[in-house]
Structure 1
Amino acid sequence: MKPRHALEAFSSQLCPYEREEVPKYSKVYYISPKDRKQYATPEKAEFNHGYDDERGDYIINMHDHLCYRYEITDLLGKGSFGQVLKCLDHKTGEYVAIKIIRNKKRFHAQALVEVKILQDLVSWDPEDRYNNVRMTDHFYFRNHLCIAFECLSMNLYEFIKSNNFRGFSLALIRRFTAQILNSLSLLHQHNVIHCDLKPENILLKYPNRSTIKIIDFGSSCLQTEKVYTYIQSRFYRSPEVILGMTYSMTIDMWSLGCILAELYTGYPLFPGENEQEQLACIMEVQGVPKPYLVEKSTRRKLFFDSYGNPRLVPNSRGKKRKPNSKTLAQVLRCNDQLFVDFVSRCLDWDPEKRMTPDEGMFHEWIQESSHKSVSNRQSFGTRYSEGTLTPPSSAAKLYR
């Protein structure tokens, strides 16, 4: 209805701040119940008139509204950027995920970059073929930038957890991999670096299907407009980022290699407690980087002595990791040479020699027929057939 009609019909359900706010909207689709809203007044400027907490996060009340259109139904997650909510769009009748950015200048500036990349993704992929999340709307509400997305299912970390960390069949992993490569191919065509590829940022599109989408472009940037040096979640962080080298789109392929290993074994490939051990974990399997790479590293003194030898520091359990003491095949416990080769080519120390998404698409492991038996390893509770997933019964609640 029109705002003036909403004011007449629901004035008793509106707090003082809302009575002044409603006329600014062209249409009203939803007004929250009186006992479900955060009461605020225009005169109280502290903490955004009472709508924010001390951190600058918007105070969430279930079944309250956003922009008199979206009804908050669940909290999907939170992080340094703000919060993600599941909301019912009363204009379309569909559920969406809405990311509410913290009311702080630096988070707002980065979110504007994210919005621009998300807008570009829609224009680059109008038919939604490249496995990237779709932004459906973006708007300001009470000094918070909000970004609305299609609502998806569980992420791949939850999926691994639902299978009791026992890993999945190579047939299913290959299907996931082809879709991730599809996403990265589009990003690479347009010089976009995702910067935070990890299982938590890869979501099943539907509860019982193997279609996936890449999400969270909050750290993303153009290769020509890099802003941050400290990027990527630690287990999936490329060595060039750790060492302080110039980085490029190839860091996403490093993350992909780490993700594939985790999907197969159920556990992170390089589980460093800190950056020192993270690099030690990498060297344990991949050996010591060549001197020319160490020389390019602005942080080399943290990790290497003056002779280029690695500084081996024990972790919290007193364990020192010895470089080149394990092979990738041993760590993966996999005898499929094509899969091991694919992961290995994602994990080349030299970013310029690392496999690209397009090269990955033509790798023999991806091209190999899904009908051929590629491993004698069983899928441990997850069946893959014609792209359909059957979850273990213990994980049924995660598939709602």
Structure 2
Amino acid sequence: MAYNYNYNRHNSIGGNWHLPPPQGFSGSTSNTNTHDQQNQEFLQQKQQQMQGFRNPWYNHNQQSPGGSNTASISQSPTKGIPLLQQQQASKRMSFANNLPTTYEYDDQRHNAPPYIHPPTRADNPFNQYFTNQEVSLGNDRRMSAAAAPTVNNGYYNSFVPQGGDNYQAQYLQNSPNLNRRSSVGVSNYQQMPHYAIPPGRVKRSPSIVEYQQYQRAVQSQRVSIKRRPAPKAMKVYSKFDLRPKVHQQPKYRRCSVNSIHISPVNALSVYLTESYTICQPRKFQYSKSTNPRRVLTKPSEPKFNNGYDNEDSDYILFVNDILGTEEGRKYIVLDLLGSGTFGQVVKCQNLTNQSVCAVKVIKSKPAYMNQSLTEVRLLEFLNANSDGKNFIRLLDTFMHKEHLCLVFELLASNLYELIKQNQFQGLNMKLVKLLTRQLLEAMAQLKGFQMIHCDLKPENILLCQPDKPDIKVIDFGSACFTRQTIYTYIQSRFYRSPEVILGLPYTESIDMWSLGCIVGELFLGLPMFPGTSEYNQIWKIVDMLGLPPKHMIEVGRNSMNFFKKVPPVEADGKTTYVTKTFDEYVEFLESSKSKDDTKKKEQANKNYFKQRLLKDIVLNYKLPSKKMTNSMIEKECQERLLLIDFLTKVLNLNPLERLTPQEGLKHPFVNDVRTDAMGSGGIPTNDGSKQV
């Protein structure tokens, strides 16, 4: 079978690799001159036909036991690697790599196993292995480039032939240990110049020299028109002396998924997910939908309603949850606005019109569900019959996972947050008057509808916009009509009226008591009656305003919990009542059997004001500014006297004598309020600045 020369020299499958090269090929090593002549004749005959190629894995010194020249698998560079030896018989290996690979034997004399040196990345494979690198003539090195002695006197770039062809043949004959094998075909072996190479000198291949000369020629052609100056070192004194070269498309930069070249820093920071996806597309697959969702409900452990509710029957809300199932009535959860005994309020966005709103998610308990249905009925009544300036608007209602959801318009912060932003200092008197008038107008409308809010407090009064004093009343979850009062435990403790504490029937007047407490807190910055319990609450009320009327104490079903009878001194004297002391109330709690399981440890009273009476507290409160003139101070005192008169009438312990909303609107404290009190548009504080 003839040796096939019709192959691609970068393809290891095109040729018959299992056959030795034909006789007379330059790879043979013979000591006779006749054999050298045959080699030259054979090369001359094949010169015009095809470029020659040496079998890189054939060894002439090692043949089969039969004396034939057939190649042995043991001569493969994969000898010593069992896995590759098993695959070699069935699958040909491809050597069409862009980078060179060098295989070396550490010590052939001791038959040591071969050791593979992986190559480093370089643009020029010839410079990688032959530039400034000495190669011993006595070692058997298998190179990735055609190797032949080409160095003259140790200088790489000189071409001075010494000795001609005869010297080369003699040198090859006298160097039996020189056995180079190349995986790159070299054309016209017989026409290559031969040089004299003294023993022990570094040798180079003529193909390498020709390649480097070609590179220098191309480079000289590029710079022949205008030669660039040689780089020089310069001193750098600051960052402005640096002139960085910015590449629009740097070499060897990794491309992202969208074929955009990114820097290594961005690949490991901003485009980290893309980098992992490129490296391991099957193992690493990232999607935003698989991100852990931020939970908004506490506690977040599922317990009821098929895992949708927690132990408090609150719906477990996550960010980006979708509330609602019908088209056009779906809302995506953005953040939590607040929570209470009724449920939770979350900030949502309508997926249909992209409007932002507030959704109130009621607990799944039947009692809260029924009360929320009453709230819906009252809100629909207010939206239909009121002007909508003083009450929040109900936009939509729907059911979601056994929870009633109420959709409201989104408002700004509440009055408590406004006081908190002012560091719990009193607000400007003009702002207090303006807010008081709006509250009176809202209570007047509720009284006209015979409706009771039952939970009026600063947290339930919201600003329409952060920089304007327009307010609206919210949270009608405890509201009811005057003739349909059901609940007895209503109103927040700080704003709870005396009749509710004593257990008396109540009317719209309880909202006026809460309004008086709110107005006093807006001016003082602190609650007027911050009681820790109902006993402490009624004790603070009595300590500031005096005892309630005798008939209220006698009729109230809870009066004896907080008051005690005092026997008359004289025979014709009347029975009076006094508030129990702290020790007496603690003894009453201990003796009470019905509250053994639910009673809490009573706390001692805490005073937040130096004065006791309402008049002294208001008059001795600090002035809004230290730079006030006498006329300004006199005007401030007159306004404070009006505020005291207003609060005294609103905070009347007798609900029958308490000021009504219509009467409050005629009071001089709020009757002279100008609509342009805000001036430039900010919310003024007590120190004269603008509250935003």
Q: TM-score normalised to the size of structure 1?
A: 0.80
**1:213-248 CA distances to partner (integer Å, 9 max, x unpaired)?**
111101111111111101100000000000111111
Distance in 2 of aligned mates of 1:339 and 1:390? 18
Q: 1:258 aligns with which of 511, 517, 529?
A: 517
- 1:101-250 equivalent positions in 2, closer than 5 A: 101-125=362-386, 127-129=387-389, 131-250=390-509
In the superposition, relative to structure 1, how do residues 386 and 364 fare at CA in structure 2: closer, same or farther (>3 Å)? farther
Alpha carbons 1:82, 1:100 under 8 Å: kept: yes
The worse-fitting range, judged by mean Cα deviation, of 288-297 and 353-362 is 288-297
| Secondary structure, aligned partner of 1:292 | helix
Distance in 2 of aligned mates of 1:305 and 1:190? 39
In the superposition, relative to structure 1, how do residues 275 and 46 fare at CA in structure 2: closer, same or farther (>3 Å)? closer
Distance in 2 of aligned mates of 1:320 and 1:292? 29
**1:146-171 CA distances to partner (integer Å, 9 max, x unpaired)?**
00110000010010000000110110
Distance in 1 of aligned mates of 2:447 and 2:564? 36
Kindly name which structure, 1 or 2, has the bigger radius of gyration based on alpha carbons: 2
Alpha carbons 1:194, 1:221 under 8 Å: kept: yes
| Secondary structure, aligned partner of 2:582 | coil
Distance in 2 of aligned mates of 1:361 and 1:391? 23
Task: Quote the RMSD (CA, aligned, Å).
Answer: 2.7
Partner of 2:603: 316
Partner of 2:617: 331
Partner of 2:304: 47
**Which structure has greater strand proportion?**
1
Alpha carbons 1:313, 1:320 under 8 Å: kept: no
Distance in 2 of aligned mates of 1:36 and 1:67? 22
The worse-fitting range, judged by mean Cα deviation, of 153-162 and 51-60 is 51-60
Structure 2: give runs of 5+ residues left out of the alignment: 1-287, 295-301, 567-576, 584-601, 622-636
**Which structure has greater helix proportion?**
1
Aligned-partner residue type, residue 615 of structure 2: A
Alpha carbons 1:36, 1:62 under 8 Å: kept: no
Partner of 1:42: none
% identical aligned pairs:
39
**1:352-378 CA distances to partner (integer Å, 9 max, x unpaired)?**
110111111111111124499xxxxxx
Q: Which structure's relative contact order is higher, taking Cα pairs within 8 Å and 6+ residues apart?
A: 1
Alpha carbons 2:413, 2:462 under 8 Å: kept: yes
Q: 2:338 aligns with which of 58, 73, 77?
A: 77
Partner of 2:120: none
| Secondary structure, aligned partner of 2:411 | coil
**1:225-280 CA distances to partner (integer Å, 9 max, x unpaired)?**
11110110000000000011111110000000000111001000011111111011
**1:68-127 CA distances to partner (integer Å, 9 max, x unpaired)?**
5101001001111110000011222211111000111111011111111111110111x4
Distance in 2 of aligned mates of 1:256 and 1:319? 23
Pairing 1:65–2:328 present? no
Distance in 1 of aligned mates of 2:556 and 2:457? 24
**1:128-154 CA distances to partner (integer Å, 9 max, x unpaired)?**
23x111111111111100001100000
Structure 1: give runs of 5+ residues left out of the alignment: 1-31, 39-44, 373-382
| Secondary structure, aligned partner of 1:385 | coil
Partner of 2:359: 98
Aligned-partner residue type, residue 348 of structure 1: N
**1:5-61 CA distances to partner (integer Å, 9 max, x unpaired)?**
xxxxxxxxxxxxxxxxxxxxxxxxxxx9565779xxxxxx97323222222111111
Distance in 2 of aligned mates of 1:252 and 1:311? 27
> 1:388, CA displacement in angstroms?
3.2
Pairing 1:364–2:668 present? yes
Distance in 2 of aligned mates of 1:167 and 1:364? 21
| Secondary structure, aligned partner of 2:528 | coil
Pairing 1:344–2:631 present? no
Paired residues in the alignment total 343
Q: TM-score normalised to the size of structure 2?
A: 0.47
In the superposition, relative to structure 1, how do residues 363 and 186 fare at CA in structure 2: closer, same or farther (>3 Å)? same
Partner of 2:682: 388
Alpha carbons 1:192, 1:220 under 8 Å: kept: yes
Alpha carbons 1:211, 1:387 under 8 Å: kept: no
Partner of 1:375: none
